Structures are given as C-alpha cells and as structure tokens.
Structure 1
Amino acid sequence: MAVAATSWHFHALVNNGMAQSRERSVEYSDMEPGDFARFVEYAYRRDYTVPHWTLDNAVSVTSESDGDEEEAPPEPEAEPEAIPELDQEWLASMRSRPAADVPLSTLAFISSNKKRKSGKSRTSRSLRKSFDEREYLTSDEPSTIMLADSLPKENSKPEQNFTPIFLAHARLYTFACMRLIDPLKRLALHKLHQTLLKFKLYDRRVGDVVELARYAYDNGEGRKPDGSIEDLRKLVVEYIACEVSTIGKHEAFAPLLQEGGEFVVDFWRIIAKENLSL
C-alpha cells in the first residue's frame, strides 16, 4: 500500500496487526481532512495539490499602494539598426552583370541589405514568440492540471488571502515530522519557501505571514539538539526579518511580539546579528 510505504510509522500501523490495521481505520484528531487528502495524494504521486487562496471580502481598499497596480506600459521597441543606402548606379551595374561575374560576397551583401529593409528582423521576433509560446498539452489534460495545481501559488491582488496556502504547507510539514516522513518534510518546506519567494507583501497581507509565524511557533518541534532553530521556524522568522521594513511597522505584528516566547528570541537575534532596524 502506498501510504504504508511512506514511513516505518505507517508501515507498522498498516501491517502490525494492531486494532487500526484490523479495522482498516485510524483517526487523526489533530489533522484536517484536506491535509490528510494531500498526504494521501503525496503517497501515490510524491507531490500534492496546493490549496487555493481565499477572497478576503472584509478588506476594503484604503490606499493607492494596495490597490490593483496598473500594468506598466510596454517598453517601446528599439529602433531598427540604420541600414546604409546602396549607391544606385553601383547597384544597377552589379545587377546588369552576369551573376557569375559578381563576387559571392557582393551578392550576399545585396541580399542581406534587401532582407533587412523588408522587415525580416520583425518576422524573426514573431517566429521566436510563436515558437516559445507553443503548447502541445491542452489545459484540460489531467497531467497538465495536476502539474499546475501542484506548483507554488503567487498573488497579484491585496484581497487574495494566502493564509490557507501558508498553513497547508506548514501543517503537512508538522504532520511529516511527527510521522517521520522526511521527503514530505522537505517537499512542504520547498513549496512554502517558493511561495514566500513569489509572495507580494501587500500591507494588508502582513496578517497572513503573522498567522504562519504563530502556527510555526505554536506547533511542531522545538529547538534542535544543538540549539539551532527548527527548520520551519527558521524559514518563517528569516522571511520576516528580510521583510522587517514592511512587517515590523504593521499593527498585526505587534501582538506577535507581545506574545513573547521563542519567536521573539529568534527574531531579535537575527535582527541584532544582521544589524537590521524596524
């Protein structure tokens, strides 16, 4: 069974003759159904579908910087390279001569000049664009859909609430830690890291990051035996430190600091070490 193959924990659970294996049922009260569905999906295909963001209807646009940003106008195309005019008398004399008497280099130059003047460079750009954008798989094929649904998401508007996405990755990481599924731990961290790299930190989405930090420090493992920060917490606290100029001044961040605990210790250590300021 695919689930049993993910770790010795599940192998024992399925095959050791305990009540759960006989009844073919087990209850995880600390896990949401959607998270377990993603784990089962991972067991069969070594990947999992990322949940979609939710619409934050309670948020109203209060600043121009958080509104939908206008797309920057396309940069004007570079002026085509100036093409030298050929001397018409010389050109006429070359054309009147038999081709065998005209040097090959001269023929090549005349041909090249003619093609450039007729706009062949624009045609080449159009061909490259067409080639680059070619698709052989349709958008409704199962493999295409599965791949797209598994890729880390990115946001484009302030009302896109990414808390469900952040927490789904974090909960799967915690689940994998508790059940000793190291590949799933690394996959969940990878997807969370890639999501944070692509995340546009609108002022009104700071709360999403705060909720992720709160989960990371309220759940899962503590410090490693050598005293270093646990991997999920390290990822989150370093991201907040990198974005401290935005997050540090937000009202949603203050309660997290007031709660104290290991987050505050880790956060201020990084701030002091990197000589950062709020």
Structure 2
Amino acid sequence: MHPARINTPKPGKSFQSKPCIFFVGKEREQFYAHETMLGASSVVFRALLDGPMKESRDGIVYLPEVEPEDFDQLLKFFYRDGYDEAEREVILAEPPHQSAPVLVIDLTRIEDDDYVPETPIEPPCPHVIPARLPYSVSEVSKQWEKWKPDHVDLEQYGSRPPPSPQYTRCQYSCSRSILGCEHKNQYLRMLPFLSLATDLDKCSDKHWKPQKNRHPYESFRPVFFRHARLYILADMYDVQELRELAQYRLYHTLAEYSMYIERISDLLALSHELYANTAMGDPIRRMIVYYFLCFSHCPDLRDCAEYVEALRSNNDFAADLVIAMMMF
C-alpha cells in the first residue's frame, strides 16, 4: 500500500467489515466496497461512511453524478494502488493518400566514377522543430537537446563553418538558423510544459509506460479521459495519491502524444473536461494550457476552425493560454 495512506487498515480488519453498497450513475449500477479501504485514503469517504451521516447508518451511498466506469477504476485504486489504462479507439480506416515522389537513380550509371546525381539530396536538419503536424513534444525536445548549438561562436567563424571534421556543414547551418531564433522561440514555448516533469516524476509509477499513437485515425479520447476523470474524482473525494498518479500519467501521455490536426477534437474535449470540473488555479489546468502552448506557433493549429471555435467557447482556457503566450 501507498506509504502516505491516512490510516492504513490491517488486511483482516479491511475485509471482515461489512461492505457498503454504492449505487453509481443515472442507472444506479451497484458496487460493493469496504469502508475501511475507502476511508484509509479519503477523508471524504471516511466522514461519509464512519460518522453520523445517513450513509454510515444505512451502509448505502448514492453517487448519480459519477460514471460507473470511473468509479470502478477508483475502487481498483483503493484496493490495489493502481488503475487500468483505457484503450484507444479506431475512428476510421486509414484514408487513401498519394505516395510521395520517389527519387529514381539510373543503376546502369551508378558505377561510373564521374557519376553525379542530377538532383543532389540535402541531408535533413535533424533538430528543427517541424512546421507542420504531426509531432510530439517529447520527440522535438529530445532532438533539440541533442542538436542545440551550445558551442558555436558566430563572431569567430562568421558565415563559414568551423574547421572541424566532426562538425558538419548541415549541423553548422542548423545552428546559425536556430540562433536566428524562430526555432529557439518555438522550443522556449515548450519549456513550461517540460519543466512540469520535475515535480510530477516524484510519483512512483516505474512500471507504467504511456501509450503512443502513430496514425490520425487513432482516437486517444478514452485514454485522456481515463486519467482526467480519475484526477477529478481524486480531487472531489480528496484522494491525494490518486490525484498525483493520474496527473503523472496524463502528463506523460500528452508528452508522447503525436498531435494530428485530424484528432484535435480529442485534445479540445480534454481541455473542456478539465476546465469544467476543476477550480481556477488547479495545476491540471496549467498542464493543459502549457501543452497547447507548445504548438502555438504551428499554422495547422492556428488555421483550424475547430480550435478557434473552442477558444471562443471556453473563455477561461483561452484567457489562460493568452496569458501564457504573453509570458513565454
């Protein structure tokens, strides 16, 4: 059990007590749980089930505002200190697309010593933040940290690359463009989100790995909502350990998530869910704002009518995002 439990019950005492009956959701789906297990982690449940209230006397609790699926995962946390991942959904088959032009090389001439390709291919600059979706925050931050120009002296070398065989022309050109700062500014807007990991990684969940998406027809809405709604329930019933765990998992899921403009509705629904069920100043709000800040430079997002409409309808989210953009 988690070391921070309020009053960790002994296993025998936990299961010898008579379980309470919970009627959850609009359909009143029935669940059973032991008061000692719930009260060990939640002051709210302990007051509800071990006090003068009617629920304590009758052993029956009605929770019409809670989804049964979410309550089931909440009970799993109380009994085993964890909860199950939700599965992604396949929304539609992969759309047909035209294949990219293929470079054709005349193999009959390739062995000639004097052969030169008609169209030389420039090596890609590996660190550059993509101008178009999809990409993930984690992917871009790793590229930047690997290629950032922390040892380039422009005054010394001017417009020519440093005389080092280990420093390629591509790397030097990339470095000069970064120092020019469009890409640097884009990366700096990712730092607020990346900096959140320092505190969140104190959560001990070493065996869990975030799911990753690879296609625009994969919907991660169930995955996002599982973490978000358990965070909301943990906040509602004052279950600090679950609150930390759900926030940790949502953060790392977002960090690894490749944003596709076709699936922007999933992220906008997540932001709406969090803002509709949390108070001003809640750290989970800051997390989702900083996540969108990472992509604020992206024309795909700026030109998305669904994104613009979401900003107009969710005024608190829009205001927090504007403030973040002004600060960073």
Q: What is the TM-score when the length of structure 1 is the normalising length?
A: 0.62
- Residue among 255, 260, 264 paired with 2:318: 264
**Which whole-Å CA distance do the structure 2 matches of 1:271 and 1:178 have between them?**
30
Q: Is the Cα–Cα contact under 8 Å of residues 51 and 164 in structure 1 kept in the other structure?
A: yes
2:65 is the alignment partner of 1:13: no
Q: C-alpha displacement at 1:152, in angstroms?
A: 2.5
Structure 1 residue 18 displacement after superposition: 2.6
Give runs of aligned pairs for residues 1-278 of structure 1, distance below 5 A.
1-57=36-92, 60=95, 151-223=209-281, 230-244=282-296, 245=298, 246-274=300-328
Residue identity opposite 1:7 in structure 2: S
CA distance in 1, matches of 2:322, 2:316: 10
CA shift in 2, pair 1:152/1:3, >3 Å: farther
CA shift at 1:7, angstroms?
1.4
Query: Any gaps of 5 or more consecutive residues in structure 1?
Result: 68-146, 224-229
Query: Per-residue deviation at 1:58?
Result: 8.0
Q: Structure 1 pair 66/57, CA: closer, same or farther in 2 (3 Å)?
A: farther
* Distance of 1:167 and 1:248 partners within structure 2: 24
Give the fraction of aligned pairs with identical amino acids, expressed as a percent. 26
SS, match of residue 253 in structure 1: helix
Moved runs in structure 1, 4+ residues, more than 4 A? 58-67
Deviation, structure 1 residue 59:
7.8
CA contact 1:240–1:247 (8 Å) conserved in 2 = no
Name the CA distance, whole Å, in 1 between partners of 2:323 and 2:98: 33
Q: Secondary structure at the match of 2:63?
A: coil
- 1:240 maps to a residue whose letter is F
Deviation at 1:260, TM superposition (A): 4.5
Shift of 1:27: 2.0
Instruction: Summarize the Cα distance change of 1:31–1:56 in structure 2 as closer, same or farther, 3 Å threshold.
Output: same
Q: TM-score, normalised by structure 2?
A: 0.53
Cα shift readout 1:104-161 (whole Å, capped 9, x = no counterpart):
xxxxxxxxxxxxxxxxxxxxxxxxxxxxxxxxxxxxxxxxxxx98x543221221111
**Distance across 1 between alignment mates of 2:98 and 2:259:** 14
Equivalence for 2:109: none
* Cα RMSD for the two superposed structures: 2.5
1:268 counterpart SS class: helix
Post-superposition shift, 1:186?
Answer: 0.9
Kept in 2: contact 1:56–1:159 (CA 8 A):
yes
* CA spacing shift, 1:266–1:63, aligned 2, 3 Å: farther
Q: Which amino acid aligns with 1:209?
A: L
Q: Whose radius of gyration is greater, 1 or 2?
A: 1
Instruction: Name the structure with the higher helix share.
Output: 1
What is the CA–CA distance in structure 2 between the aligned matches of 1:58 and 1:214, rounded to whole Å? Answer: 27
Q: Distance in 2 between matches of 1:204 and 1:170?
A: 21
Measure the CA separation in 1 of the matches of 2:256 and 2:76.
Answer: 24
Count of residue pairs brought into register by the alignment: 188
Deviation at 1:192? Answer: 0.2
Amino acid at match of 2:39: A
**Does the aligned pair in 1 maintain the 2:234–2:240 contact within 8 Å?**
yes
In structure 1, what residue type is equivalent to 2:232? T
Alpha-carbon distance between aligned partners in 2 of 1:209 and 1:27, rounded to the nearest angstrom = 31
Residue-by-residue CA offset, 1:175-226 (whole Å, 9 max, x unaligned): 1111111111111100000100110112212111111111112222123xxx
Higher strand proportion, which one? 2
Deviation at 1:19, TM superposition (A): 2.3
Instruction: Give yes or no for contact 2:133–2:259 (8 Å, CA) kept in 1.
Output: no
